[in-house]
Copies of this chain bind each other. A is one copy, B any other.
Amino acid sequence: VRKYRQLNKRITIKDIAKELGVHHSTVSRALRDDPQVNPDTKKKVLETAEKKGYQINMNALQLRGNINNTIALIVPNIRHTFFTNIIGNITNLANVKGYVISIFESNEKYELEREIINTVIKYNFSGVIVSMAKNSLNCGHFKLLKDYGIPLVFFDRMCPDIQSPRVLVNNYESAFQAIELLIGRGYRRIAHVTGPLHLNVFQERQKGYLEALAKHSKQYQESHIINKGFSVDDGKKAMQLFYEKSEKPDAILSSSSVLTIGILLKAKEKGLVIPKDVALISFGSEQITGLIEPEITTIVQPEDKIAEASFNEMLKLLNGQTTNNEGFTRRINTYVTMGNSI
Contact = CB atoms under 8 A, between A and B. Distances in A.
Given A4-B66, A65-B3, A88-B78, A101 B100 contact: no
A10 B104 contact: no
Nearest to A117: B55
Nearest to A260: B291
A318 B6 CA distance: 11
Nearest to A84: B84
B67 A4 contact: yes
Contact of A149 (B7, B79, B118): B7
B105 A58 contact: no
Nearest to A119: B100
A47 interface: no
Given A63-B60, A67-B4, A261-B291, A123 B148 contact: no
A97 to B, nearest CB: 13
Contacts of A232: 288
Contacts of A103: 87, 91, 101-103
Given A61-B1, A290-B268, A123 B102 contact: no
Interface in A93-129: 95, 100-105, 112, 116, 118-119, 121-124
A262 B2 CA distance: 50
16 contacts: A1-B61, A2-B67, A5-B318, A7-B148, A53-B147, A55-B118, A57-B63, A59-B62, A60-B63, A95-B105, A100-B102, A102-B103, A232-B288, A261-B288, A265-B290, A291-B292
